[in-house]
Amino acid sequence: MIRLNNNYRKLQTDYLFVEIAKRAREHCAAHPERSLISLGIGDVVLPLPPSVIKAFHEGVEEQAHEKTFRGYGPEQGYEFLRKAIAENDFSFPGCAISPADIFVSDGAKCDSGNFQELFSDDIRVAVPDPVYPVYVDANVMAGRAGAVKEGRYEGLIYLEGTEDNSFVPSPRDLPASGADLVYLCFPNNPTGVAASRDQLGEWVEWALRQRSLILFDAAYEAFISNPTIPKSIYEIPGAEKCAVEFRSLSKTAGFTGTRLAYTVVPETIIVDGMSLHDMWNRRHTTKFNGVSYPVQRAAAAVFSPKGQRETRRIIEYYLRNAAIIRKAMDDVGYTCWGGKNSPYIWVKTAEDSWTIFDRILNEVDVVIIPGIGFGRTGEGFIRISAFNARKKVMMATKRIIKVLG
C-alpha cells in the first residue's frame, strides 16, 4: 500500500503567503465595491527594463530559426550568463568566485529550500526567527524538525532576532552543542535589517572554526545603498570555504514572473571529504533541466552597462517607496527597522499580528504581513512591502495610519 511522507503532516497550517492570499480573496469577494491595495507579498509591479525586453525578444527570435535554435542547454546555465554574473557581482578585491562556481536556476526560493537535500537527516540546523518560512518548512519535509512544542519544532535551533540584538543574531546565540548548518538572510526578510561586515565576519569565523556551513540568502543585496555593508558574504575572507550564497533577479530586475536566480557553490568547500560543488552539480543536473535560453539572454542584459543603469532606477524607485512608508510610520511614533537598505519595513505594533492584519485588511482594504507568520519572535510586528506603484504606496500608507494611529 502506498504511504505518505509523514513529515508533511508536521507542517503548521498553510504556507504563510497562501494563507494571506486566501484571506485577501475572501475579503475582495465580500466587498467587491472596495479597492484593495497590497503591501504584502514581495511581488514587483514595474516592467522589465527596456534592454532586458530587447534581449528577451532576440532570444525568442533565435528560437524561430534552425541555425540559431537551441534545445537543451547546460543545466548549470549558459557560459555567457555565468561569466556576466561573475564579472559583475563577484569582481571585488580578494574574491575568487568564478563562472564555474555559479549555478543558474529558476528561483532562490527553490535553491534555498532544496540545498538541504545534500546533507544527513540528523544534522543540527539553525534558522533565524523571524525568518523566511521556506528554510524551516524544507527541513520539516526532510524529517529534521521533530515534534512541535509551543509553536516551534524541537529538532531545529532558533536564532532569535529581537530588538536587543537589532534582529541580527550572532554565533553566541547558538546552544553549547552548536550547529552544523545555519541559514542567514541579509538584507533580512522580513525585518529589512542588513548585517555589518563585523557581524558577518563573526559568523564566517565561527563556521570555519566549527567546520559548519552557512547558507546565505542575498536575494535583496541590490537594495543595499550603504557602501560599508557587504552585499556578498564572500566579501568576508574565508567565506569561500564555508558559505553558499543564493541570489535572485526577481526583486533586482523584476524577474518574479520571468524566473531566474543563481546559487554560488565555491569549489573550495569540502564536506566529509567530498566537494560540495560536485554534489550540488550532481543534484542540479539530475533534477533540473536548466532555465530557458530566452530568459538567460534577458538575464545577461541585466549585467550590461545599460541594464545596470536601468535596474538601478528600478531599485531606487522601490527604495523611495520604502522611505515614504518608513517616514510615515516614524512620524506617528512607531518603532521601525528596514526600509533603508531593504524594500521591507518591520513595524512594532505591540498587538497580536493576525488581529492587526485583519483590522488593516477589513477596515482600510490594505494587505500587509503579520509578523507571527515568520516565527514566534515576529509576534507584535508587521511587515510592510514597498513593492507597489508610488500612488498606491502613498494611499495605502495613509490608510494604514488610520488604523495604527
Interior/surface letters 257-293, b for 16+ CB within 10 angstroms, e for the rest: ebbbbbbbbbbbbeeeeebbbebbbeebeeebebbbb
- Report the residue count for the chain: 405
Predicted TM-score (pTM) of this structure: 0.96
C-alpha cell at 91: 569582481
- 285 phi and psi angles, rounded to 5 deg: -75, -20
C-alpha cell at 192: 529589512
Identify the helix (H) or strand (E) that includes residue 345: strand 344-348
How high is the pLDDT of residue 290? 97
What are the DSSP E strand ranges found in 113-197? 125-129, 148-149, 152-153, 156-160, 181-185
Residues of the chain with pLDDT under 70: 13-14
CB 151 within 8 A of CB 376: yes
How high is the pLDDT of residue 14? 67
Strand partners, 401: none
CB 321 within 8 A of CB 390: yes
Return d(Cα 57, Cα 376) in angstroms, integer: 46
Strands 213-217 and 243-248: parallel
C-alpha cell at 12: 503548521
Domains of the chain with CATH codes:
6-47+307-404 (3.90.1150.10), 54-305 (3.40.640.10)
Return d(Cα 71, Cα 264) in angstroms, integer: 25
- How crowded is the C-beta side of 348, counted as CA atoms within 13 Å? 12
How high is the pLDDT of residue 368? 96
How high is the pLDDT of residue 41? 85
Measure the CA dihedral 325/328/333/336, to 10°: 20
C-alpha cell at 1: 500500500
Other residues' Cβ atoms within 10 Å of the Cβ of residue 72: 8
Collect all residues with Cβ–Cβ distance below 8 Å to 140 and sequence separation of at least 6. 7, 10, 11, 153
Return d(Cα 231, Cα 44) in angstroms, integer: 21
Identify the helix (H) or strand (E) that includes residue 198: helix 197-210
Return d(Cα 350, Cα 263) in angstroms, integer: 37
